[in-house]
């Protein structure tokens, strides 16, 4: 209905393609009716690469393919912030990079990539504290480093989206809210992901509380859900610490434990104000970015396949219909416009 607030549907296109080929990703998204995608892993003929590693020639090829399939980039799915805070041997395989080098290298590159794909948004993370340590103890360093990243993005007229995720400093909504409060920078936005909360062993009520904590800083959402096969194992889980590569119980948004219905009904009231805020920064609207992982997920990505991605999209649309939130998928009028009718 015309009175309903609206979101822009997007998704991590690499999840839809069996071998990450650009043509497979874009064909799947166009067929599903999507007009935006987040770019993360992609193959344009030189093997699968993370977006941060693309050459100028590969970027040009992708931009031409985007035009052919009628797609635009919603965000750069960068791995910024998925490195150690301190150079400590904690048994993990996470790398450590001195921050000044990281800022001048990876962060600068992410900004360049965002401009190359004409998007205002970079997705990133809140760094790995030493495994087993209390993330609260590492808030000062985390806040300082994220503040510098935000300033680099701001100087490039970009917005840095900080995603909630297990094992990082920002592993709960409350910690994310505190990072947002202390960084206090106009280029920082928070990304809520209910599946990333539920997979840590939190209950639906706790997931909703964490969403509420993040609400003042929200910029957009990732959509995935999780269903524990055994409630007892969920209740016994060590909150905040998970084996990401062992996670395999992700499900569509209307089948999991994250209470997306309640979250999105509440989010509906925030949408008009949030949309105005984002448009002032040159962002076209509020994105809901599908990252379904319905066939598996890991530390740096996941897989759904073209069929799984379609199931996840239809699931999200059902929840949005229930919540009274509008969205647009390509229809015949769009096709006629493309043909000049």
pLDDT per position as a tens digit, 245-260: 667 789 999 999 999 9
Which band of pLDDT confidence, cut at 50, 70 and 90, is reported for residue 229? confident
* End-to-end Cα distance, the chain: 26
CA atoms within 13 A on the CB side of 226: 23
Which band of pLDDT confidence, cut at 50, 70 and 90, is reported for residue 340? low
Task: Give per-residue pLDDT as tens, 72-102.
Answer: 999 999 999 999 999 999 888 899 999 999 9
Task: Compute the average pLDDT of residues 161-186.
Answer: 98
DSSP 190: E
In the chain, where does DSSP find H-type helix? 22-32, 56-69, 99-102, 108-116, 139-155, 173-183, 194-198, 204-214, 231-236, 260-279, 305-323, 332-338
CA distance linking residue 182 with residue 222, whole number of Å: 23
Tokens 């509420």, residue located: 212
- For residue 231, give every residue at least 6 positions away whose Cβ sits within 8 Å of its Cβ, in sequence order, or none: none
In 44-172, where does DSSP find H-type helix? 56-69, 99-102, 108-116, 139-155
Residues 274, 226: contact at Cβ < 8 Å? no
Which band of pLDDT confidence, cut at 50, 70 and 90, is reported for residue 239? confident
Residue 62: name the closest of 46, 78, 85 by CA: 46
Q: What are phi and psi of 294, to 5 degrees?
A: -70, -15
Which band of pLDDT confidence, cut at 50, 70 and 90, is reported for residue 1? very low
pTM: 0.94
pLDDT at 246: 62
Q: Where are the domains of the chain?
A: 8-338
Task: Compute the average pLDDT of residues 54-74.
Answer: 98
CA distance linking residue 311 with residue 304, whole number of Å: 9
pLDDT higher than 50, residue 128:
yes
How much is the CA Rg of the chain, to the nearest whole Å?
19
Percent of residues, the chain, with pLDDT higher than 90? 82
Helix (H, G, I), strand (E, B) or coil at 123: strand
Environment class of residue 45 by beta-carbon count within 10 Å: exposed (0-12), middle (13-18) or buried (19+)?
exposed
Q: Which of 68-72, 103-107, 182-186, 200-204 has the lowest mean pLDDT?
A: 200-204
pLDDT at 241: 72
Q: Decide the pairing of beta strands 287-290 and 218-223.
A: parallel
Q: What is the mean pLDDT of the chain?
A: 93
CATH class assigned to 8-338? alpha beta
Which band of pLDDT confidence, cut at 50, 70 and 90, is reported for residue 234? low
pLDDT at 303: 79
pLDDT at 298: 62
Polymer length in residues for the chain: 341
Residues 58, 92: contact at Cβ < 8 Å? no
pLDDT at 230: 76
């Amino acid at each position: 209905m015309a009175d309903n607030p609206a979101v822009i549907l997007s998704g991590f296109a690499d999840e839809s393609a069996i071998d990450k080929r650009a043509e497979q990703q874009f064909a799947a998204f166009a067929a599903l009716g999507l007009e935006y995608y987040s770019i993360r892993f992609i193959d344009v003929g030189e093997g699968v690469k993370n977006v941060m590693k693309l050459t100028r020639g590969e970027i040009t090829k992708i931009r031409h393919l985007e035009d052919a399939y009628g797609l635009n980039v919603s965000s750069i799915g960068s791995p910024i912030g998925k490195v150690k805070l301190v150079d400590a041997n904690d048994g993990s395989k996470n790398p450590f990079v001195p921050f000044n080098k990281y800022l001048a290298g990876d962060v600068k590159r992410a900004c360049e990539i965002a401009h190359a794909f004409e998007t205002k948004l970079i997705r990133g993370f809140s760094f790995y504290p030493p495994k087993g340590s209390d993330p609260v103890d590492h808030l000062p360093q985390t806040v300082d480093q994220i503040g510098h990243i935000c300033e680099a993005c701001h100087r490039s007229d970009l917005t840095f989206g900080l995603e909630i995720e297990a094992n990082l400093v920002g592993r709960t909504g409350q910690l994310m809210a505190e990072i947002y409060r202390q960084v206090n920078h106009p280029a920082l936005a928070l990304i809520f992901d209910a599946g990333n909360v539920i997979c840590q062993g939190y209950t639906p009520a706790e997931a909703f509380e964490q969403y509420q904590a993040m609400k003042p800083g929200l910029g957009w959402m990732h959509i995935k859900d999780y269903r524990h096969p055994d409630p007892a194992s969920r209740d016994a889980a060590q909150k905040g610490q998970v084996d990401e590569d062992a996670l395999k119980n992700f499900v569509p948004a209307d089948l999991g434990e994250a209470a997306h219905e309640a979250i999105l009904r509440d989010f509906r009231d925030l949408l008009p104000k949030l949309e105005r805020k984002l448009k002032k920064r040159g962002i076209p609207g509020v994105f809901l970015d599908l990252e379904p992982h319905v066939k598996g997920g890991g530390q740096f990505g996941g897989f759904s396949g073209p069929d799984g991605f379609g199931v996840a999209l239809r699931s999200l649309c059902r929840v949005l219909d229930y919540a009274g939130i509008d969205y647009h998928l390509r229809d015949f009028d769009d096709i006629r416009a493309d043909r000049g009718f």
